[in-house]
Structure 1
Amino acid sequence: MPEVVSFTAPYEVALVPTDAQPLTDGSVRVRTWYSGISAGTELTAYRGSNPYLSRTWDVEKRLFVDGEPTFAYPVEGWGYSEVGEVVEVAPGVGSPAVGDVVHGIWGHRSEAVVPAVAVRDRRWTREDALSGTFARVGSIALNAVLAADVRLGDRVAVFGQGVIGLLATRLATLAGARVVAVDAVPRRLETARAMGAEETVRADVAGGAGATVRAWSGGGGVDAAIELSGSDRALHEAVRSVVVDGLVAASGFYQGGAEHLRLGEEFHHNRVRIVASQISGTPVALGARWGQPRLVRTFMDEVARGRVDTRALVTDVVDAADVASVFERLDRGDPEVLQAVLRFPAAPATA
């Protein structure tokens, strides 16, 4: 019987049985091998802090308004970093074919029926199946780098060296920037060096990371900063780190208020621009040339060429049935966990 990860209440998550989805016209059935956990987003479901759980998202007005929550517990099928094998195709579907390994978005579930067109161009290798779980987080990182308008020779600070921050560090380096990485966890700063960071800064350094980053830049500030920790304190330090008229790409999923973001200080006096980077859209200045498919394709091409080492970021591969233990560790900030991946029974031992 198929199974799905279910957030049943705040701080309660489990793998539970679910009904099999019927195969529909133009669809394929994918049996999941691996599903990556995006800690920043998914902890908001685990903790109950996601705004969808307390307010209504009005799609037409594009506003959160009072009313019935958009989502209510149990919340099932969250997750957007899956890879698996096509095991059944609807009549008339030529691609992908049975036996193809594909990556995509169908949530933490043992199998799913998805439109064939959604995974037609997302075939992946059996030998490196785990890397297929990085397609979405990699596209988020690339979107942030594009939002920061990173160019050859720029000095760029990346605040937050979780998985997406580390990928942003690597991608900004590949774009030709000199990158300084900021985080509070020494192991992550070591990994940032391996990803190409020229310098690392402790987030808790005396005087603030922003001032230290400015000193590294020569005193004037970095050209751009990317904030990916989701902390308002880190966003404030990112603002402090950039040049006059500098750009900050706010790419974290910020929860609650922003008491540490003091807009009357450097933001005001240095005329800093803050832009939101969120995966539902690409930077306006890039026009129709960029969209989510190109983000994914570009990032995964870099992985396939060996220019981005995603496997080095995987610290934990655990059976999906043990999902509760993984979220407990993520919630308490276990510094040993970087990228956690759920393994479903269909995953071959050699993948």
Structure 2
Amino acid sequence: MERIVQFAGPRQVEVADVASEPLPPGHLRVRTRYSGISAGTELTAYRGTNPYLTRTWDPEARLFRDDVAGISYPVAGWGYSEVGEVTEVSPELAGTPGLPSVGDLVWGIWGHRSEGVVPVERMVGHTLPAGLEPLAGAFARVGAIAYNAVLAADIHLGEDVAVFGQGVIGLITTRLAALNGARVTAVDAIDARLKTARAWGAVHTVNARCGNVAETLREHTDGRGADVAIEISGVHPALHDAIRSVTVGGRVVASGFYQGDGIGLRLGDEFHHNRVQIVCSQIGGVPPQLSHRWTVERLQRTFLRLVAEGRVDVRSLVSHTVPVAEAADAYALLDERPAEALQVVLEF
């Protein structure tokens, strides 16, 4: 038997026991050690706001269809930040270059479940780097999301960059933007996160509740505004503030997962008059202009290498390690008391 975390309905979390799957050809079995909870995408399913609950994505038309829901409750095994130990390899895979062996620690995506049965093509090259503690592997995907946003921002040495949202992915974005040569201003509504942002490389911080974010950004940039703003919180008013905060012809990277109607987003104001560029960053792909060199796989591996080299300290982002049996409490914490948590990790 294996254990799997599932949402029985909005804000209803269960830990179910299900039969272990037989290992099919071309797959590996991995026993999970840690699985990080996404405080963005996952909470949309937990809260019942995810668009897939009311519509379905048509991959050929590249449109959402309203005639049928893409997912329904119970939503089982969400999660995309797992670390575990290989316990079984399909026999015909012996000798595959880069394939992990039994006993190796690996990172990947197989959801909040005690074991994953994962296709080999998703695990080649996913052995945890030497010297890297297992918990760090749970940051491969979230680190890649932040890395992707920084690539989309096209930052140049010495430019002013505002990062809106200083949760886990926002703090990593702040760090990577600073490593990329930016002068970063971090924006968030939680003072504790802004304090952490300074430790992660922000030169200035702004509390979003002050009501004059754009004006403050201009004070920090000799009146110009930021060259680039990266919006990573997924909140429409923050996206509007990001648009207001950039210079004429500036770029805004929209990397949050926005829900519902765009309340608070006024595109006839600064967006129109300052000719602001809005670029979407989403982990389904890399910026088109870099697709000849970068892939999502390279983003993940490069980020873990930066962690292994000590250039990004993800361990300090883990605020709670929670036994999987207490998963409901972990989600309630992130949903109801976000100021008390950063990265919450389920331990199996």
What's the TM-score once normalised by structure 2's chain length?
0.97
Alignment match of 1:274 (pick from 258, 274, 278): 278
> Quick check: 2:132–2:308 contact (8 Å CA) kept in 1?
no
- Contact 1:101/1:126 (<8 A) preserved: no
Distance in 1, matches of 2:78 and 2:346, equals: 13
Secondary structure class of the residue paired with 1:288 = coil
Q: Secondary structure at the match of 1:3?
A: strand
Q: 1:332: how far off? A: 1.1
What's the counterpart of residue 61 of structure 1?
A: 61
**In 1, Cα distance between equivalents of 2:287 and 2:216:** 29
- Pick from 123, 127, 130 the counterpart of residue 127 of structure 2: 123
2: CA distance between counterparts of 1:121 and 1:287? 20
| Contact 1:96–1:116 (CA under 8 A) maintained in structure 2 | no
Structure 1 position 29, deviation (Å): 0.5
SS in structure 2 of the partner of residue 331 of structure 1? helix
Aligned mates of 2:121, 2:82 — CA distance in 1: 16
Paired amino acid for 1:139? A
- Once the two structures are superposed, residues 120-157 of structure 1 have per-residue CA deviations (whole angstroms, 9 ceiling, x without a partner) of 21111576111000000000000001111112111100
Cα distance in 1 between the residues matched to 2:189 and 2:239 = 14
Please point out which of 138, 142, 150 is paired with 1:145: 150
Q: Please, which of 194, 199, 203 is the counterpart of residue 198 of structure 1?
A: 203
Q: Distance in 2 between matches of 1:30 and 1:204?
A: 44
Which residue identity lines up with residue 299 of structure 2 in the other structure? L
Identical-residue share of aligned pairs (%): 58
Does the residue aligned with 2:210 lie in a helix, a strand or coil? Answer: coil
Matched, 1:181 2:186: yes
Q: Is the 8 A contact 1:224 1:248 kept in 2?
A: yes
Residue 39 (structure 1) aligned with residue 39 (structure 2) = yes
The within-5 A match list for 1:1-351 is 1-94=1-94, 95-124=99-128, 125=130, 128-206=133-211, 208-344=212-348
Secondary structure (helix, strand or coil) at the match of 1:172 reads helix
Q: Is the 8 A contact 2:3 2:16 kept in 1?
A: yes
How many residue pairs align between the two structures?
343
Q: Is this contact kept in 1: 2:330–2:344, CA < 8 A?
A: yes
Partner Cα separation in structure 2 for residue 143 and residue 21 of structure 1 = 34
Shift of 1:286: 1.1
Q: Which runs of 4+ in 1 moved over 2 A?
A: 92-95
User: Which whole-Å CA distance do the structure 2 matches of 1:157 and 1:254 have between them?
Assistant: 19
Deviates more, 1:11-20 or 1:263-272: 11-20
Shift of the alpha carbon at 1:218? 1.1
Q: Which amino acid aligns with 1:46?
A: Y
RMSD across aligned C-alpha pairs, in angstroms? 1.1
Matched residues in 2 for 1:126 and 1:156: separation?
A: 33
List per-residue Cα deviations over 1:10-43 (Å, max 9, x = no partner): 1101111122121121211000000000110011
Deviations 1:324-344 (A, max 9, x none): 011111111331110000000
Deviations along 1:257-297, one digit per CA (max 9) or x if unpaired, are 11211111100000001111100011111132111111111
Report the residue type matching 2:13 in the other structure.
Answer: V
- Provide the rounded CA distance (Å) in 2 between the counterparts of 1:103 and 1:334: 26
Quote the Cα distance in structure 1 between the aligned partners of 2:22 and 2:64.
Answer: 34
- Give the whole-Å Cα distance in 2 for the aligned partners of 1:250 and 1:119: 30
Corresponding residue number in structure 2 for 1:348: none
Shift, 1:215, TM fit: 1.4
Cα distance between partner residues in 2 of 1:276 and 1:212: 25
Does structure 2 retain, via aligned residues, the 8 Å contact 1:84–1:102? yes
Q: Which structure 2 segments of 5+ residues have no match?
A: none
1-side partners of 2:338 and 2:206: how far apart?
20
- Alpha-carbon displacement from aligned partner over 1:234-260 (angstroms, at most 9, x marks no partner): 000000111100000000010111121
Counterpart secondary structure, 1:60 = coil
Residue pair 2:178, 2:202 contacting (<8 A) in 1 also? yes
Aligned partner letter, 2:75: V
Q: What amino acid does structure 2 have at the position aligned with 1:276?
A: C
- Which residue identity lines up with residue 199 of structure 2 in the other structure? A
Q: Mean Cα displacement is larger for which, 155-164 or 286-295?
A: 286-295
Aligned to 2:305, the other structure's residue is in SS state: helix
Contact kept in structure 2, 1:159 and 1:165, CA below 8 Å? yes
TM-score (norm 1): 0.96
Query: In 2, are the aligned partners of 1:143 and 1:282 still within 8 Å (CA)?
Result: yes
